[in-house]
Amino acid sequence: MKTDFPAILRKNARDLSREQIESMSWDEARNYYYANKRRWSEDRPKDVRATVCFTGFIATERDELIEIAAGKNLRVVNSVTTTLHYLVCGPNAGPSKLQKATAQGVAIMSEEDFREY
CA distance 23 to 116: 56
Structural contact between residues 45 and 78, judged by C-beta atoms closer than 8 angstroms? no
* pLDDT band of 44, cuts 50, 70, 90: low
CB burial readout 43-75, b (16+ within 10 A) else e: eeeeeeeebbbbbbbeeeebeebeeebeeeebe
Between helix 5-12 and helix 26-43 the angle, nearest 10°, is: 40
Strand duo 107-110 + 51-55: pairing: unpaired
Give the Cβ contact number of residue 98 at 10 Å: 17
Does residue 47 register a pLDDT over 70? no
Residue ranges of domains in the chain, CATH in brackets: 5-43 (no CATH), 51-116 (3.40.50.10190)
Question: Which pLDDT score, from 0 to 100, does residue 111 have?
Answer: 94
Question: Which pLDDT score, from 0 to 100, does residue 43 have?
Answer: 64
Q: What is the pTM of this model?
A: 0.61
Question: Which residue from 38, 40, 34, 35 is spatially nearest to 14, judged by alpha carbons?
Answer: 40
CA count, 13 A, side-chain hemisphere, 43: 9
Give the Cβ contact number of residue 40 at 10 Å: 15
